Structure 1
């Protein structure tokens, strides 16, 4: 019995970890679905989040509710309705959703189809991905023969025109994607073959008249057990359960004790695991609602007992005459919020609120709905008035044995609800059970998708087009150099990136036809390593530096913000591509690639901000500092004095022209666009004075800078020196990059500078045969570009290796790096 279970669990683990297939994990009650969920959270290398439809289910699963994570409105989410629009997400949550690899939804049987489509809309929107669920892998866990989603008649009247069924599998988004189904079959909760057979027949709606008669033998009229026997009543309706508990508690002659919960932080009342004001008496029958986390494991969620004594801070509970008394102390429940750890870049569950109370609730009776997921030794089932599909099965399957079960009234055949929709779905599920071959095919498909994503510059091309469109529409408001730079960027991207990857993608199907996985294909891996070296150079040395040169100043604040928004998106896309290629330096590995791509999404900061800050402190800078900065300051100060806008004094484009041409006479000012005779008469002399003052200003030297320092400060160690020290200490380039928080290419650039300055021998970085090979090509064709050399030399040579050797040659010739 164990081997098949292990095989199915292992198969499920493999699909979760190594494929992008969506998975429906199902199984009878007591087959270990929740255990599997917690195992996945521990072993998966993917960034994941766990959600559930109710607060109690979310707490039990160690996750959050669907509505809280995706900020969905309550009530029906009608397609096309404004009600589907979620509240505005903060940046932190958007970053979390954009880097999500796996979404686990527990108790999927209780999730409505429109709610699943609401999740789909949020993920598509904030991940900028038109695929269903924004391309996130789904793990849906639940048993469709258990409790269904709650849909009121008035809600269904709104949803019915759009959905064939309210169950999750009616989701429009889910129907657009294939998913595999894995059913766990080994039952841990019950061991009695007769009882298991009866439960299976009820679950599958094949119960015979004889089986029903056998079950109804457990109907004992006027059954009134003593509280010490530990029976709990499972009722279909909440009012019935509450009335039983209230009457039983009131009938006890002992004194009433009230225990107030301590609630800290964010912990909504809707997810309280027990009463905030817990009223108990000695003699009350109670149920533990949490597992004992101590080594003794004295109680578990669902265990029934009787209170034998109460102190101020301890409640004593005995579970059966022969068991030791358990001293129960208050425990904590935690309300979680998913956040991104800034250090590890991993999704972590952050506690935002706690609920401290005794892990008990009155347990003469509870609803069948609240019993889902619990296990009882003895139970009285009151299910003759079952009104929902799955209620009878859930109630009966809570019990460990048939002998521990008593029926309040016989179970009529009509209370075992049958839904043809679920029967059809079950048949469909049986046809989607995967094999080992399906797993291998899915791994191959996943790796193919990731490689095609890696070797695609379509999004970068689209963003470049958007940048040029913004500039073209606002030419008069932006720097004249902006459009030519973006045009050059477009051509460079097209010729050196898109065209190359398009040719490479045409060749990929040939490799994909082979039996081996892409990760195991040596020929393909060699091609990927060569392509990685090429694209590292194109991205790091050509595309990104060119983008950083694009001026963004404008007197029109709205235009500038529009340009910056799309430029930042383009820079981020190119930055993520660079990091993604860097992860493939030694070959393609799916999980490594995913991790590198996601980390790059989180690490990205627009280089423009750093460059502008540097320019502001550089007197000769043609950018936002220097003469341009001096003229802008003068203009804005004058505008402030006259309570007018800066562009009314001088347009930004005119100031850029002034900084570039540096006129020294009024006649030269007249030749500049934006200056007429009136403007020259009004402010001409002032403008010339600013220019003259700037040109005559002495440039600061090291000596004058040192004199200005009032107090000696600790000298900052150059970045290249820090890298060199770590390298000489024995750390690898990859280790240094991780420790310093830089890209690998940046660290390689530091070492190349050290080689060029004679501080490091090239032999310390490369083997002699590699140096000899590269040096011969450099000396034979000194004018050849590095990119051309990579193609000529072959053998997996990288851009950085060529730069190392070239720096060594320059050092020998006395040329500074």
Structure 2
């Protein structure tokens, strides 16, 4: 699923539930239905302040996020909220609520991050343990001072419960069994009381053979027939030896087995082994290493790419198998060729980033701070790999060597990596008893929302979300807490004219408290209007909201903004006030953001009473959650504001519309022509014509080639068209077909 499939209704509805509601969601789907594509799309197309995490380091690297333990500073062990600790070595790995909060050190910056996140995405959720999720729930409720599940934070769970389960150590299992029905995330206490909305992606992109799809479905549903099992076992061939030009990969159950196969095959090749060392900088722990720190290769070695090509050409994808054709003497580049006729590619080291999320108050966004990098060739030896590490990958040909010791979910994971049955070889028969599905997983999955019920629930959830955002806009708790912290910290600061400063800050704090009291009374009225038994009274909501905003704005300007700006300007020139002035700026940012939220509330209420399109109103409501202020609005702040998402493409588009050529835009913006054309692809059919970017005759030739070769990658199309056609020209043609 390389391009967004707008015809995939379930996919687009799930996007709307994530972006336009505040519901907790479990998005699932069979192998190859586009869950990874969905995550990438949400990362690129959501206004919400987001953090992406996963249960393991490898899953976190693949998702482009961080581990749950890093995000929430969780100790390693088991969390049982009310466990009676014996305080000896026997239970040192168990954390009750008291011990958990004794271990979790939440600094001011960490608290701000967890308070401001709007959306938490947890990928590969099949491996998430119930007790870990309950620990996260406890931390979020405490930090956000909100008794709702996860402290009111929206959580998107992504994964397939029929794949690999959570890991529970033997000494933990007995204790856990007394407190949880199963270790699966859906049996967390928070979700048993407040289950998430279950949505499923159903369109399969990896397989197209109906017989194979039916077998995979029946394995998932624990109803694989004798005939289907017999068909699978016709691929049993323990003596099979792939030809040198056939890129088979062996899927096995244990690391040592995969390592032994790779080592044996590598040693059998002629020539010397070259050790290519990773370049690790700053903070990048070994537990996160995505590939071997020292990659041993030879010319002729069968290798697999472990990430998608980050370049425009998309020459390879995660799981594509080839062989090493050449290794540069410098050790900084190598060439990988393919047996399927694809064009050989030069491969260089790519960098993985160990990130930490932080909250930027002025921009009101969650930023990724790079702590360290791991630069290595995005390859691993590919004669063999464990079934566990193959999760999420796609293969054309695979040998499954499980030795009859399939764990729960492994049969499905292993088989579903393949595109077709023709690419399957079994080194061991699949016994009937190994095809089993956990009954609790099947029971949980049966709660999937019916397709016909989705549209009505989506509209109701969108309207609830609009109401929720209106109520949040009148919530003053964050502003009051900011002023309270400023007042408390001031008592410990050694600054000039401290007593006078304290007088001003305490007056500001009292004003904010008074405004909060008024706002809370209005919120109660608004809540009643939003939750009328029949339907929300939008006329009354508009009337009351308009009056409330008209009352609050002058109060904010006269009693808060003006007072604080004058005070900030005066104290900025005094001695020993640098940190104090920065704290004043943070308070001013919080107040000005609240002012902008209230202004937008009046616009939203007007749109509701006018009956504007629901999608447009939801977009406005979404904007309440992320209001970026121009730093020039804050006295003493001169940094230029960062470009908003999509801003750089819009700038190129506007320059193009003004009559400037691609070359002129490239020179003016310091970009390559290919990058500028990449920006303009977004506007083909909406202000830009494909023939403005590519000569009409050449475009028709490329379009004809694309139509005759559906589904082929850009590299294959370029090979057919020859050196006179550039990759960006192919992309223009592809975009025009899509439009």
Q: Same fold (TM over 0.5)?
A: yes
Report the equivalent of 2:255. 238
Closer, same or farther in 2 for the Cα pair 1:601/1:136, shift >3 Å?
Answer: farther
CA distance in 2, matches of 1:507, 1:295: 50
Distance 2:349 2:512 in 1: 66
Report the equivalent of 1:760. Answer: none
In structure 2, the partner of 1:41 is 43
Q: How many residue pairs align between the two structures?
A: 584
Which of 594, 597, 600 is the equivalent residue of 1:583? 600
2:112 aligned with 1:95: yes
- The residue that corresponds to 2:28 in the other structure is 26
Aligned-pair CA distance for 1:229: 0.9
CA distance in 2, matches of 1:96, 1:379: 44
Give the alignment partner of residue 164 of structure 1, picking from 175, 181, 201. 181
Q: Equivalents in 2 of 1:602, 1:125: separation in Å? A: 32
Structure 2: distance between partners of 1:570 and 1:461: 9
Alpha-carbon separation, structure 2, partners of 1:461 and 1:259 = 55
Pick the aligned partner of 1:398 from 417, 430, 438.
417
**Shift in Å at residue 119 of structure 1?**
1.8
1:200 aligns with 2:206: no
* 2:111/2:143 contact within 8 Å kept: yes
Question: Greater RCO between the two (CA within 8 Å, min separation 6)?
Answer: 2
User: Partner residue of 1:326?
Assistant: 345
For residues 454-501 of structure 1, what are the alpha-carbon distances to aligned partners after superposition, in whole Å with 9 as ceiling and x for unaligned?
A: 4567899999999999xxxxxxxx99xx99x9899979967x874685
Distance 2:29 2:107 in 1: 38
Question: Rg bigger for which structure?
Answer: 1
Q: How does 1:708-719 map to 2 (within 5 A)?
A: none
Contact kept, 8 Å, 1:285 with 1:364, in 2: the verdict is yes
Instruction: Map 1:148-187 onto structure 2 (within 5 A).
Output: 148-187=165-204
- What is the aligned partner in structure 2 of residue 249 from structure 1? 266
* SS of match in other structure, 1:258: strand
**What SS does the corresponding residue of 2:385 show, helix, strand or coil?**
strand
Which residue of structure 1 aligns with residue 79 of structure 2? 77
Q: Name the residue aligned to 2:238.
A: 221
Going from structure 1 to structure 2, the CA distance change for 1:64 and 1:538 (only over 3 Å counts) comes to same
Pair 1:126 & 2:143 matched: yes
Distance 1:215 1:119, change over 3 A: same
Q: Match for residue 525 of structure 1?
A: 542
Deviations 1:215-250 (A, max 9, x none): 100101311112321111100111111111122222
**Cα distance in 2, alignment partners of residues 147 and 537 from structure 1:** 57
Match of 2:53 in 1: 51
**Structure 2 unpaired stretches of 5+:** 83-95, 489-497, 568-583, 606-616, 637-739
Q: Would the aligned equivalents of 1:144 and 1:422 in 2 still touch at CA under 8 Å? A: yes
1:397 CA drift (Å): 0.4
Instruction: Answer whether contact 2:529 2:540 (CA < 8 A) is retained.
Output: no
| 1:407 aligned partner | 426
Distance in structure 1 (CA, Å) of the matches to 2:344 and 2:486:
73
Deviations 1:116-167, CA, capped at 9 Å, x for gaps: 1222222223223232212110111000001111111212223222212110
In structure 1, the partner of 2:11 is 9
> 1:61 maps to which residue?
63
Q: 3-state DSSP class of the match of 1:149? A: coil
Alpha-carbon RMSD across the aligned residues, in angstroms, is: 4.1
Cα drift, residue 533 of structure 1: 1.0
Where do residues 670-749 of structure 1 align in structure 2 (5 Å cutoff)? none
Secondary structure of the residue aligned to 1:584 is helix
Structure 2: distance between partners of 1:12 and 1:515? 27
| Separation (CA, whole Å) in 2 of partners of 1:260 and 1:462 | 49
- The equivalent residue for 1:709 is none
d(CA) in 2 for partners of 1:460, 1:316: 57
**1:23–1:180 Cα contact (<8 Å) kept:** yes
- TM-score, normalised via structure 2 length: 0.70
Taking structure 1 as the reference length, the TM-score comes to 0.64
Judging changes above 3 Å, is the alpha-carbon distance between structure 1 residues 251 and 459 closer, same or farther for their aligned structure 2 residues? closer
Change over 3 Å in CA distance of 1:522–1:199 after alignment to 2: same
CA distance in 2, matches of 1:278, 1:3: 37
- 1:618-654 per-position Cα deviation (integer Å, ceiling 9, x unaligned): xxxxxxxxxxxxxxxxxxxxxxxxxxxxxxxxxxxxx
Verify: 1:422 aligned to 2:450, yes or no: no
Q: What stretches of structure 1 of length at least 5 have no aligned partner?
A: 470-477, 551-566, 611-817
Deviations 1:642-674 (A, max 9, x none): xxxxxxxxxxxxxxxxxxxxxxxxxxxxxxxxx
Sort the Cα spacing of 1:575 and 1:396 in 2 relative to 1 into closer, same or farther, 3 A: same
CA distance in 2 between partners of 1:432 and 1:117 (Å): 30
Asked whether the equivalents of residues 54 and 65 of structure 1 are also in contact (C-alpha less than 8 Å), the reply is yes
Tell whether the 8 Å contact from 2:262 to 2:382 is kept in structure 1 after alignment. Answer: yes
Deviations 1:525-549 (A, max 9, x none): 2321111111223455458999999
